[in-house]
Structure 1
C-alpha cells in the first residue's frame, strides 16, 4: 500500500492510498486457497473445487472484503505512525470506484481533521473558592413552616363567610359547551383550592367571594392548546353550587408532623431538614466553583479547534435553544436553523473545554466504574415509568446512549481531580449570597 499526503493545513489532513492490483490479486488468491479445503460444490468432492471455479464463484465478494481489509489496515497503520487522532470518523472515498475493473490499482482518498495537541496545564496555579452555607435556625424554621403548609387541613369558615384566595370550596358543578353538557365536565363534592390554578384559567377567580349555598355560573374559554381537541378554544359555562367554604389551617409543628414525614420526633425532622439543606447548599456551591474553574481554564488555555466539532456543537446549541424558545414545536420538521455568532462562540468554549478535560482525565487515568454507570442508568430510567426494562436494554445495545450517560460523570470526576490539585479557599457565605452566585451562572 502506497500512501501520499495530499493536504496538511492546520488540523485538516488528506492522504491518497494506492493498493497495487498485484497485491490485491495475491490477497484474493491467498484467501481462496485458505478457504478451498472447506468448500463443497456440486460435481466435486469437498476441498477439490478448482481455483478457477472458486474465483469465478466467490472472487468478487472476496475481492471486496480484501479491499476493505487492506484500506482499514493501512489507515490504522497510518494513524499509529503519524500519531494523529481523528476528530470524527475519517472520510474514505474510492477515487476510481465507478470505472474500476479487475486488474486496476485501487486508489482511495482519505480525509479527516486531527485533534489538536493539548497544552499542559499547571493545575496547582488555579485559584478557587469553595463556598459553604450553614443550615441555620431561620432556614430550618422556614422549611418547617413550608412542610406544615403542605400538610395543612381545611376547616369550615363561619356561616355566611366569603371565600378568599387560598380557601377551599366544596362544589358541585356541571359544564356546558354550546348549551350541551360534555363528558368529564361535571363532579359532585369537589374540593377546589382557590388560587391553585388546577382548573382552566378564569374559573377559580369567579368563585372568590362566594358563600355556602351560592349558585354561580362560571363562564370561561378553554385554552387553544387544551388537551381535549373537541374542547380547545371553545366557550363554556359551568353551573356551580357552593356547598362549603373552608379556611386553610397549617398543621402544628410538633412530633406528629415529624412522623408524617418519616422522622421519630421534631428534633429528628429538624436534623433531616438540616442535612438536606446542607446537601442542597453544597450542590449549589459546587456548581459555582465548577463554573469558576472552567472559566479559568478557558481563559488560560488556547489551541486550534477542529471545525467539524465546532460546527456540530454550534448546530446542536442553535437547535436546542430554538426548541426552548418554541416549546409548542415538538417535532423536528422546522427546517434548517442557522447558528449565530454567539452560538459559535459558546460551541468553541464547549469543544475547547471538552477536549481539555478529556486530556486531563486521560492523563490522570480517571475512570467511570460500573457502579457509577449503573446508578446513572437507574436514575435516567426513572424518566420512563413502566418502560424501565426497555430503557435498560436500549442502553446496553447503544454505545452512543452509554457515552451520553458516561460523559457528565467523567467530567465531574475530572473537575474533582482538578480541584484537588488547585489552591482552594474555603469561604462561608450567607444563603442569599450563595443564591446570587447561582443566579449569576445563568447570566454568563
Structure 2
C-alpha cells in the first residue's frame, strides 16, 4: 500500500492511496484461503475446495471486504503516521473510471482512491486572569412564596354548580357542547361534548372564553373566533371559525383556605413546611437562571478571547442542525423571514455565525477539559440517566433499558456533564462578582422574548 499526501491547506489534508494489483491478488487469495476452511460446498470435502472455485463463487463479495479493510487500514495509517486529530470521519473517493475500478476488483489492475480529512485546529489556551463575570443572586421574597401558594390553591380548588339562571363570570367554569364550522362546513376536531371551559384561563382559542362570559345553563350562542397563525393544525391556522356553543352547567370556584390542612394535601405536615418547600423550589429556579446567565457571560468572554481556523465540516454539520430547527419553528408558527424582519440570506449568515461560535467554544471547552484532566465518573452518568428516566413517567423501565443497551446513547449523557464541570473549572480561575438582583431583572430577557412572541402570534 502506497500513501502519498497530495494536499495540505489549512485544516484540510488529502492523501492518494494505491494498492497494486499484486497486493490485491495476495489479499484476495489470503481471504479465500481462510474462507476455504469455513464453507461447505456440495461435492467437496471440508477444507478441500479449490481456491479457483471459491473465487468464481465468492470472489467479488470477498474483494469488497478486501477493499473495505484496505480503506480502514489506510485511514489508520494516515492518522497514526501523521499524528492527526480528525474533526470528522475521512471521506473516501475512488479515482479512475468504472472500467479501472472493475479491473481492480478483479485484481487485474491497481486500486487508487483518495482520503480527504479535516483536522482539529491547534491553539494555545489563553490567560483569563483579566476576565470578570457577574453572578446574579436573587433571594426569594415572601410575596413570591405567597403568589405561588395562591396559584397552587387556584389549581386545586373545587367547583360547584351556581344553580339555575346563574350567569358565568370570569373564573367560573362552563360545561359546554359545541360544533365548529369554517365557511359553514363542520371541520375535523371541531365538535365536542361535555367540555369544561374555565373562563380567564386562556386555554382555548383567543376570544372563545371571553364570549362565554354571561352565558347561562341551557343557553346557546354562536361564537366567532380566528385560529392563531401558529396553530398546530395547518388546515385551521389563521382561519375564521364559528362555534355553536350550548352551555350545560355553570360552576363557581370554591374557597380554598391556605392553612395546615391545605399543606397536608401536598404531603407536608404544616403550612410552614410547605412554605419552606415552595421557597426552596423557587430558589432552585432562580439559581438555574442565574447559572445560565453566568455561563453565557463566561462563554461570551471566551468567544472574544479565541480566534482560530475552524473545521468547516463541523461548522456545516452544526449549521445544518440549527437551520433545520429554524425552518421547523417558522413552519410551526406559520411565519416567514419577512415576518421576523429579515431575509433568508441574512438569516443564513446570522445562523452561520452562531454555528461557528458553537464549534469554536466547543473546541475551547474540550481543550480546557483535556488540559485540566477533567473526568466524568460512571456515578455522575448514572445520576444523569436517572434524571432522564424520571422525565418519562410510566415508561421508566423502557427508557432505562434503552440506555443500558445502547452505549452510544449513554455516552451522550457525559457531554453536558463534562461541559458543566469544565465551566466550573473556568469559573474558579476568573473573577466572579456577585450582584443582588430581583426576580424581574433575573428573568427580564426571557420575559421580554415571550412578550414579543405573544405579540407576534
TM-score, normalization by structure 2: 0.79
**1:293 paired residue among 293, 298, 301:** 298
- Return the alpha-carbon distance in structure 2 between the equivalents of residues 320 and 160 of structure 1: 51
Aligned match of 1:309 = 314
- Return the alpha-carbon distance in structure 2 between the equivalents of residues 160 and 264 of structure 1: 42
Q: Deviations over 1:92-139 (max 9, x none)?
A: 122136223223222111112111113223355543332222223232
- Return the alpha-carbon distance in structure 2 between the equivalents of residues 418 and 185 of structure 1: 57
SS for the counterpart of 2:443 is helix
Q: How far did residue 401 of structure 1 move? A: 4.5
Unpaired runs of at least 5, structure 2 = 335-343, 453-457
For the 8 Å contact 1:368–1:406, the answer to whether it is kept is yes
1:428 aligns with 2:433: no
Aligned match of 2:14 = 14
Q: How far did residue 172 of structure 1 move? A: 6.3
- Return the alpha-carbon distance in structure 1 between the equivalents of residues 137 and 362 of structure 2: 28
Q: Deviations over 1:405-429 (max 9, x none)?
A: 4433332222122223333233333
Q: RMSD in angstroms over aligned alpha carbons? A: 3.9
**1:362 paired residue among 351, 367, 370:** 370
Unpaired runs of at least 5, structure 1 = 330-336
Aligned match of 1:413 = 421
Task: Show the 5 A alignment for 1:71-86.
Answer: 71-86=71-86
Q: How far did residue 281 of structure 1 move? A: 1.4
Aligned match of 2:90 = 90
Aligned match of 1:334 = none
- Return the alpha-carbon distance in structure 1 between the equivalents of residues 217 and 120 of structure 2: 76
- Return the alpha-carbon distance in structure 1 between the equivalents of residues 400 and 118 of structure 2: 34
Aligned match of 2:219 = 215
- Return the alpha-carbon distance in structure 2 between the equivalents of residues 360 and 35 of structure 1: 49
Would the alpha carbon gap of residues 160 and 26 (structure 1) be closer, same or farther in structure 2, given more than 3 Å must change? closer
Say which is worse superposed, 19-28 or 434-443, in terms of deviation: 434-443
Would the alpha carbon gap of residues 288 and 30 (structure 1) be closer, same or farther in structure 2, given more than 3 Å must change? same
For the 8 Å contact 1:218–1:240, the answer to whether it is kept is no
Aligned match of 2:63 = 63
- Return the alpha-carbon distance in structure 1 between the equivalents of residues 246 and 428 of structure 2: 66
For the 8 Å contact 1:148–1:253, the answer to whether it is kept is yes
For the 8 Å contact 2:121–2:310, the answer to whether it is kept is yes
Q: How far did residue 53 of structure 1 move? A: 3.8
For the 8 Å contact 2:166–2:250, the answer to whether it is kept is no
Would the alpha carbon gap of residues 350 and 185 (structure 1) be closer, same or farther in structure 2, given more than 3 Å must change? closer
1:240 aligns with 2:237: no
Aligned match of 1:115 = 120
